[in-house]
Structure 1
Amino acid sequence: MPDWTYQPLRGIAGALLGVRRSQRAALRVLAWTGSLPGGGRAIARLLGHRHPPAHLAGTVGGGTAGGDMVDGGTVGGDMVDGDMVDGGTVGGGTVGGVAVRSRLGAVVPPAAARDAVRALPPLGAGLILVEPVGPADVPAVRQAAAGSRVPVLAATADPAVAAALAPYVDAVLAAGGGPHLVRPASPSVEAAARALAHPGRAVLATPALLIEAGPGWFARVTEAATPTAPALSPRDVGRDPRRWPAWWWGLLAGAVIAVAGLVAAAVSLGPVLLWYDRAYLGMDREALHAVNHHLIHFLRHDRITLAGTMVAVGILYAGLAAGGMRRGWPWAREAYLASGCVGFAAVLYLFVHGYVEPLHMTLTVIVLPLFTAAIRRPAGRPRWTVRPEGPQRERRRALTGQLLMVIIGAGLFAGGVAVSAVGLTGVFVLSDLEYLGTGPETLRAANARLLPFIAHDRAGFGGVLMAAAAAITLLGAWGWRRGESWVWWTLALAAVAGFAPALAAHLAIGYVHLGHLAPVLAGVILTATALALSRPYLCAR
């Protein structure tokens, strides 16, 4: 589970299940998921974890029979009663180390070894040390090491235990593991990153540290230990489009979508219908008003809400591009890609009712190449800045805000699915018909194309809302880091662009059905709460 569920909910879980039982339950859920085919990869992807930088790789457990030797990334040579034990070899002489992709790992007791070996690697642990191992623990350690995705080491003071474990684990170390296996006393990310800067050291999180810091500790340390370069500025882009970086194309795509949303809002506040709308319907505003005196207002409220959501999508894309992709965050590109795929897939809605809107298709044709240029390359060189984590109280409040933001994004996505379903099937919900004071049969009798026309707008809004929700959910789940003020401003501006026009449009036309507006009001309250809780952390200097 991510920190944004672990920290805010750990107190509730502890009160309901008991502290130790809730901790074991969390570990076992992760272990069970990680043991499924593709489960470990799914955990890592969903939590935004990526491959560790190359300099964190090394070897652990190598050395000489005379003591510890650290050279070229080899960590912790060990002896058991004078004998070197490593990879099944017991005796004198030089012993090679165990290769690890990351020198960041965990040390766990034998009782938790099986669950830890399956749960912690997807979170970012590159090795697992099991200690202290006694004769009674040998079967449990053997079972834990079977099929492990990362090296499993065991530490013992008993030569007989070492000999029994050697064929089953990657290395057997002396009790304590050696001085180059660092066990941080506090969850300080900065201290762990400094220790990893020494190529001959491995950093192992203890159970107490992980309980305090949360499962995201591995990812935070990895990011802090990653070498970075200064972020590019717009002045570095140049004038040759062939040399433009991906984030610049992403920023342009966001700007185009936002401008298109503003244009759509202007049309909605003005004529409502454009020439191709009138041609498709064979009716103008006066004719629609004659059919139902609320109909023009109803169309205006639909289109203004859609326009505001388009502006919100543009803001989200611009933020992900200029704030995240420009700094080399891999998750920013993936959030951009996921949201864009949802949005472009929703273009197919246009063909369901047989009304293909020219300006909508023109916007798609313009944005698609920009979007493709933005996501065609993997994330570039890391250019982010990791700031000190600050007070724990501040961070935990921000994690509560992060949880709320993910809930908001998921709720908006569900709302987008519901609106799409309505637009593709029944067109209206009950409160719509109450506002209009009529039924779909009456509207269909007045003009056979009227219902497909309205349904086209509603389905389109549902698709755009899902695209915005996907970006909000992933930005909320992956983007919370101290000092990343662009995350806060992106979400705040997108919220204003999305919620304000929707509320204003409903109030302006007198469509104030409480049940209809309840999701919007809930979204406003939750978003304001999430942003208020997170602002000191995200906007820290």
Structure 2
Amino acid sequence: MPDWTYHPLRGAAAAVLGERRSQRTALRLLASIGARPAGARLISRGFGHRHPPRRLAGELGGVPLTVRLGIAVPPALAHDVVRAMPPLGAGVVEVGPVAAADVETVREAAAGRSIPVVVRTGDPEVRAALGAHVDGFTSEGDAHVVTGPSVTEAAAALDDPDTVVLARPSVLVAAGPGWFARVVEAATPTAPAPRLRDVGRDPRRWPAWCWALLVGLGMTVAGLCAAGITLGPVLLWYDRDYLGMTLHDLHAANHHLVHFLQHDRITMAGTMVSIGALYTGLAVGGIRRNRPWAREVFLLSGAVGFPTLFYFLATGFVEPLHTAAALVLFPMFLAGVRRVPHTARWRRVPEGPERERRRALTGQLLLIVTGVGLFVGGAVISVVGLTGVFVPTDLTFLGTSAEALEEVSPRLVPFVAHDRAGFGGALMSAAVAITLLSAWGWRRGEAWVFWSLAVAAAAGFLPAVVVHGTIRYTDLVHLAPVYLGIALTATGLLLARPYLCASESVAEDPASLTEDSASVADDSETVAEDSETVTDDSASLTEDSACLTEERTPSAVPPR
């Protein structure tokens, strides 16, 4: 339930389950996952949340906090909130107001906690009963409570080292579960990013981002060279030596065969250029600015791509140029992923219109879906290349069978298998970069994210469409995934462009929040009206009760 699923899908979830039930279901699911160490790590790292800077540490009611940012909830929500909020970036949960009837509920909520829990109450008996079960107690006015989704307001409040910021559940309903991470990032002090002229001539002193940039440029050059070879001689000397055949011999054996080899290799070349564009963007826009997630995107993508060199163990064909490129780029890759001291060097850009962000989140979801689809496609292509080599539409285009091709040359099918499996491996590597860059890099004003994805999409999709049309391999079933990928990518980037490419000088427009915030407020009021009253003598809550009493502060349910 990151923001890129919460906002685009919340309407559909509300239509199926109802607004209140969908929120409670999301909260309980997050609590169930977050209560387990592995689940908490999955949410925290999978959604790109990072450790806050030390300057955001502090205390509340004498309780030390790693980050002075948390949430204030009524007792009835405490059990799920205490388990759901830590992976999202919250540093404390305040439960209150707490009366004598709520003591057992708070005890159960605080058991097994991984986050400081403080209780807001003025009742000495309640304090005595809960003293051994919670971390501390607060009173009205001890924390700065925010009721609106503005990240700027919360980050500004955190500038005071003595201020603890607590959000009402309605804030997360309006902003989404990523609100904590966005506030922490906005409150993180930054420094100017280094320039290329600041890098010395001694390679031993080059920062990691320079090496990552070289890998990106190297992949781009390698892809362009591969495209040049494919559009020119097609076969190099080592190809002819391995096959024992010339281009003329291949054409004589099957007049579609040369075109088939070109179509495999040009799509591979386009994918290599795509990877180069993504790595170049990650190096200059992310790693250079010490974005921790940018290094991880680069690392994980390379960790998928480089081992595919060993596909030759299954195909039996070792391509010298492919091997040479990998041996040159791999040491640079290792230098590019080494850890460096983390000093934030990114730019701070105002929040801007909330509706603009909501549209961008829909675009983000489409790009992530595209990336996941590309990864699945790459995995399937790799498996096909390492096993059957051809799919039915390939053999229909060639007008022959795999057995007939093996009769032409016993090395012909392994030769094709090498190209096909290698393309699948490159596609998986690019897909990892696209998916994680889209999941972790979506921020207002980060134009490099938009252009990296746009160039990568153009380099990957356009050659594939053009080469298939040129050789008249236009089977709709074969090309349907390509057309779908183009549609999803184009739509996603168009929706996100105003947000990602926003000017740094644009000031925040608070009025832009009114439409969506008012809608959320109306939804919250509906939830409140439909909720059942919980009396002081209540020992437990039914699934549909909304824990509102005259003495308690009304609140909406945190989002999924």
TM-score by length of 2: 0.89
In structure 1, give the amino acid aligned to 2:21.
Answer: R
Q: CA deviation at 1:290?
A: 1.3
Gaps of 5+ in 1: 62-96
**Contact 2:67 2:90 (8 Å CA) reproduced:** yes
State the distance in 2 between where 1:137 and 1:180 align. 21
Match of 1:471 in 2: 433
Amino acid across the alignment from 2:173: I
Q: What's the offset of the Cα at 1:288? A: 0.6
One-letter amino acid of the structure 2 residue matched with residue 59 of structure 1: E
Q: What residue number does 1:78 align with?
A: none
Q: CA deviation at 1:180?
A: 3.9
1:157, CA displacement in angstroms?
2.6
1:118 aligns with 2:89: no
> Does residue 213 of structure 1 match 2:151?
no
Please tell me whether residue 33 in structure 1 is matched to residue 33 in structure 2.
Answer: yes
Q: Which amino acid aligns with 1:2?
A: P
* Structure 2 unaligned blocks of 5 or more: 504-560
3-state secondary structure, aligned to 1:448: coil
> 8 Å contact 2:60–2:138 — kept in the other structure?
no
Over residues 288-345 of structure 1, what are the superposed CA-to-partner deviations in whole Å (9 max), with x where a residue is unaligned? 1111110000000000000000000000000011011111110000000000000012
Distance 2:234 2:109 in 1: 66
User: Residue deviations 1:435-493, cap 9 Å, x none?
Assistant: 00000000011110010000000000000000000000000000000000000000000
> Do the aligned partners of residues 37 and 413 (structure 1) sit closer, same or farther apart at CA in structure 2, a change above 3 Å counting?
same
What is aligned with 1:244? Answer: 206
Aligned residues of 1:330 and 1:378 also touching (Cα < 8 A): no
- Say if 2:267 is the partner of 1:305: yes
After superposition, residues 158-307 of structure 1 pair within 5 angstroms as: 158-174=123-139, 176=140, 179-307=141-269
- 1:260 shift after superposition: 0.2
CA distance in 1, matches of 2:243, 2:277: 33
Look up the match of 2:99: 134
**Distance of 1:9 and 1:360 partners within structure 2:** 43
TM alignment of 1:366-381, pairs within 5 A: 366-378=328-340, 380-381=342-343
1:247-290 CA distances to partner (integer Å, 9 max, x unpaired)?
A: 11100000001000000000000111110000000000111111
Contact 2:444–2:501 (8 Å) recurs in 1: yes
Question: Structure 1 length normalisation: TM-score?
Answer: 0.92
Contact 1:249 1:370 in 2 (8 A): yes
CA gap of 1:316–1:379, structure 2 versus 1, over 3 A, is: farther
**Is residue 2:12 matched to residue 1:50?**
no
CA contact 1:338–1:470 (8 Å) conserved in 2: yes
Q: Which aligned pairs between 1:7-86 and structure 2 lie closer than 5 A?
A: 7-61=7-61
Q: Which of 397, 407, 422 does residue 384 from structure 2 map onto?
A: 422
- Could you say what the CA RMSD is over the residues aligned between the two structures, in angstroms? 0.9
- Residue 32 of structure 1, CA deviation: 0.6
Which secondary structure state, in structure 2, belongs to the residue aligned with residue 128 of structure 1? strand
Which one scores higher on RCO, CA 8 angstroms, separation ≥ 6?
A: 2
Residue pair 2:59, 2:164 contacting (<8 A) in 1 also: no
Q: Which residue of 1 aligns with 2:524?
A: none
Compute the displacement of 1:379 (Å). 6.1
Q: Distance in 1 between matches of 2:73 and 2:38?
A: 24
Letter in 1 for 2:38: G
Q: Secondary structure at the match of 1:522?
A: helix
2:71 corresponding residue in structure 1: 106
1:390-443: per-residue Cα shift (whole Å, max 9, x none)?
111100000000000000000000000010010010000010000000000000
* Number of the residue aligned with 1:153: 118
The one-letter amino acid of 1:427's match is V
| Equivalent of 2:363 in 401, 405, 423 | 401
CA distance in 2, matches of 1:114, 1:407: 33
1:345-392 alpha-carbon deviations (Å, 9 max, x no partner):
211112211111100100010100110000012463110112111111
Q: Distance in 2 between matches of 1:211 and 1:186?
A: 10
Q: Number of aligned pairs?
A: 503
Query: What's 1:339 paired with?
Result: 301
Amino acid in structure 2 at the alignment position of 1:163? A
AA of the residue aligned to 2:78 = A
